[in-house]
Structure 1
Amino acid sequence: MTVDTNSLDMHRHETDAGVLVPGIGAPSTVACLRSLRPRGIPTVVASETAETPAASSTYCDDVVRVPDPRADLQAYGDALLEVANRPDVRTIIPVREEDVYVLANRKDAFAEVVETNWPDFETLRRVQDRVELFAAADAAGVAVPETAVFDQWDDWERETIVKPRYTVAAPAYLGSNTDVESIGSTEYQIPGAPPDPQALVEERGHMPLVQERIDDSREFAFFALYDEGEPVATFQHCQRRGWKYCGGPSAYRETVYDQDLEDAGRAILDELEWHGLAMVEFLRDEADEKYKLMEINPRFWSSLPFSVRAGADFPYYYWQQALGEPVEDDASYEVGIGGHLLRGELSHVHSVLTEEYPMVERPSLTSTLANVATSLVREPRFDYAVADDPAPFFQDGLNLLRAFRDSRSDPEPGVEGETDHERSRSNELPQLEPLARDEDEAEPPSPTSQGITQTSPQLDD
């Protein structure tokens, strides 16, 4: 009797082979489950918290607890590798910076047990180290805002941003002996108020970057799946509203297509000879009408549910590529449609009601409510809220309520040196951030005594 091994392999792919997705607070994990499980692909969620919305999804087959990567990156990598050894796991989908760092840094070990559809570590480093990223952009002819390492910047009379050099606090970047768990936040600096360099380095564990501020809060993003330097699928959107009226993570975004954006996104990824997922973030500088590269997120983005709803089913493309199958991308998506993160819309309205940012004019509450309401009616697409899988939406709401309750019942004591304004902010509504800071874009700024602080893009759009 002759056994068709190819047929057996295909049968195993259809019935046994599954995917491991880290469970985070952003909607990207849930989007992966909703895309893959209906196709018969088993799903395993690995998370440091039981409250991840993905754990409550109809499309989640199993949940595994793992260490918090921001507390112990080595232990987290060990745990992922252990889960990857399961016979029902065929590949892993990275959804945050720590995920792709661990996977790339230990790619050889993971390659022994799963399909490794992500870049090698040297390529990843050129993205997670912004100095190397901007050098690659220069070589590719892609515009970037004027940027320098902090100790090389001397023009503090301009509106600037102080931001981390790296996108993840990891030994390969900060050194093996560092005890820094966070690379710090991004600070929008008011002209004439340079920060203390020694304090910055002590807090962050490295010398950060200074960058000119682009006066436009709209973020344009080019999304892609690459296969060994070649684009397989691409997508574009423009953020129309952030979590705050000054910007921040995406609350409402619309699909777009701009050849200049396509060219810029492809140019930098081609220069990197990229492999795997990428979200390439740009701001458009009206001064010279150029897209300026801000960063690349080398994993899934939190607005992924919107990409899928618009017709770009990246989780399935990723799965097909990982298994060496032809990617079923029809190279089209509907331009001009929109989608919302409802928690983000709530945060946006709250910012108009209660917050003030010196560098950005606050819109009227009336116009804000009208814009939000109109877009909700015209573009009823939501990252979490869907009829066939409602539980993640309610879990996300519970997480928000817990954050609000905790902020009210256990406020942090005032810190010596705080201004009255800073202390008063402890009684405001919390930032409505997802679990474990899982957004792509940085959170919007809040005033400080020296500048305007903005959480680093550790969240995972």
Structure 2
Amino acid sequence: MGVLVTSAHSAKSLVVTRSLGRNGIDVTTSDYTKLAPTYYSKYSKDHFVYPHPIENSESFINCILKNVKKNNYEALIPVNSEETYLIAKYKHKFTPYLKVPLHDYDSIMRANDKGELLKIAEDIDIPIPKTYNLNNMSEIKQVAEKLNYPAVIKLKNTKSSIGLSYVHSKEEFISKYVETVSNFHLSASNLPIVQEYIPGDGYGVSALFNCGDPRAIFTHKRLREYPSSGGPSTCRISTEHKEMEKIAVKILKYLNWHGVAMVEFKLDSRTNKPYVIEINPRFWGSVNQAVAAGVDFPYLLYQMAVDGDVKPVFNYKMGVKTRFLINDFRSLSDILKNEPNKIPTLMSFSHFFGKNLYYDTLSFDDPIPGMLFYPFEIKKLWHRLK
């Protein structure tokens, strides 16, 4: 008996694998690459390589299914976006053999669609930035006149900061919007949304739900991110924000959520009002932040899947920091390019050790995969540069 975990090349897959392994669960890891760092975790009892989920989705599903039929797993836990969405779509193929703690495919894709967030906000009255959802390209000039600048262009369905851009004038907006549509080959039904820019700090409210009822809630504040203009967090701290948590629960109850999700917020520095930015209907990049502070989402998800329910966890340790170090160095470089007063940033960054400081990949009791992330990330950077 054990658990099958996907996306072994990612830091969050390593976090999930360590979480389950430390709780005595046998973990098999899997990925589309032969040299994924999580394969080398002492908590990965076995691993295998599957076809690329985007390039060959049918073969990916068939490979996972073949492995599931051959082994006596208790649960299948996908980690990254592509694998999560595909497994949710074909969940009916897997559920005769093991537990798959995911919401239904349509609900997951609705939560992932930033254009749908506008409709959800209208239905249940939650605060989001002023949003424009274009129906066709002829509306660009009309929207350009209405916008308050700076504004943000976002792809409806994407991960991290892919396709995200900031514009500061009508001319820049029109040019960048057309460029985005062209670069990503977007159809009229999938045009980018446009939002007002909200200045302030970013927060995340993470949650585990069981058929519409909350089982765990956790809030963190972003301290640094990469790119520094808006991307995945690289350093964070555990905190609480009752208003944000109430809004996140309201959204996920409305969606009758099942499984894990994270609702992203911006706290407007002008008004101190929180705005919902997006919903991540899967494991999020900063999942180690919650685990380090005492909300062990991967293990809680496993327990809920296998036992049918889990004891709620709503309390955790405040002031715990976590870092994804290699991306935190990238964030530092990004910030220093634009930061006039570099000393406070350097002082904050240079605190590498502390009682309440943890790292996403580096671990004394499981050192090998943490070290492998550095050549792995350098290899990815080299391919991007080429």
Question: What is the TM-score with the length of structure 1 in the denominator?
Answer: 0.75
- Kept in 2, the 8 Å contact 1:51–1:395? The answer is no
Corresponding residue for 1:452? none
Greater percentage in helix: 2
The answer as to 2:187 corresponding to 1:186 is no
1:255-284 Cα offsets, whole Å, 9 max, x none, are 111110110110110111111110111111
Corresponding residue for 2:183? 203
The equivalent position to 1:292 in structure 2, one of 245, 256, 275, is 275
In 1, the alpha carbon distance for the partners of 2:7 and 2:88 equals 19
1:324 Cα deviation from its structure 2 partner: 2.4
1:421-458 Cα offsets, whole Å, 9 max, x none, are xxxxxxxxxxxxxxxxxxxxxxxxxxxxxxxxxxxxxx
5 Å-filtered alignment, 1:133-144, equals: 133-144=117-128
The verdict on how the C-alpha distance between 1:225 and 1:93 changes in structure 2, with shifts beyond 3 A counting, is: same
The equivalent position to 1:371 in structure 2, one of 332, 348, 354, is 348
The equivalent position to 1:348 in structure 2, one of 309, 312, 331, is 331
Compute the RMSD of aligned alpha carbons: 2.3
The answer as to 2:151 corresponding to 1:160 is yes
The equivalent position to 1:397 in structure 2, one of 353, 361, 374, is 374
The answer as to 2:41 corresponding to 1:57 is yes
Corresponding residue for 2:66? 82
- Kept in 1, the 8 Å contact 2:263–2:280? The answer is yes
In 2, the alpha carbon distance for the partners of 1:128 and 1:72 equals 22
Q: Percent identity?
A: 27
In 1, the alpha carbon distance for the partners of 2:165 and 2:227 equals 16
Aligned partner letter, 1:295: E
1:225 Cα deviation from its structure 2 partner: 0.7
Unaligned stretches of 5+ in structure 2?
none
Aligned partner letter, 1:366: I
1:336 Cα deviation from its structure 2 partner: 1.7
1:405 Cα deviation from its structure 2 partner: 5.4
Corresponding residue for 1:101? 85
- SS of 1:61's equivalent? strand
In 1, the alpha carbon distance for the partners of 2:295 and 2:118 equals 28
1:100 Cα deviation from its structure 2 partner: 2.1
- Kept in 2, the 8 Å contact 1:352–1:364? The answer is no
The equivalent position to 2:94 in structure 1, one of 110, 135, 138, is 110
In 2, the alpha carbon distance for the partners of 1:401 and 1:221 equals 28
The answer as to 2:212 corresponding to 1:257 is no
Unaligned stretches of 5+ in structure 1?
1-15, 169-182, 357-361, 413-461
Higher relative contact order (CA 8 A, sep 6+): 1
1:79 Cα deviation from its structure 2 partner: 2.3
- SS of 1:262's equivalent? helix
5 Å-filtered alignment, 1:224-263, equals: 224-263=207-246
Aligned partner letter, 2:316: Y
Corresponding residue for 1:67? 51
1:330 Cα deviation from its structure 2 partner: 4.3
5 Å-filtered alignment, 1:402-421, equals: 402-403=379-380, 412=386
Larger C-alpha radius of gyration, 1 or 2? 1
In 2, the alpha carbon distance for the partners of 1:210 and 1:242 equals 21
Corresponding residue for 1:438? none
After the TM superposition, list the runs of 4 or more consecutive aligned residues in structure 1 that deviate by more than 6 angstroms: none
Aligned partner letter, 2:199: D
Aligned partner letter, 1:160: A
The verdict on how the C-alpha distance between 1:364 and 1:70 changes in structure 2, with shifts beyond 3 A counting, is: farther
The answer as to 2:101 corresponding to 1:121 is no
Aligned partner letter, 1:195: I
- SS of 1:309's equivalent? helix
1:247 Cα deviation from its structure 2 partner: 4.0
1:53 Cα deviation from its structure 2 partner: 1.6
1:331 Cα deviation from its structure 2 partner: 2.9
Number of residue pairs matched?
Answer: 373
Question: What is the TM-score with the length of structure 2 in the denominator?
Answer: 0.89
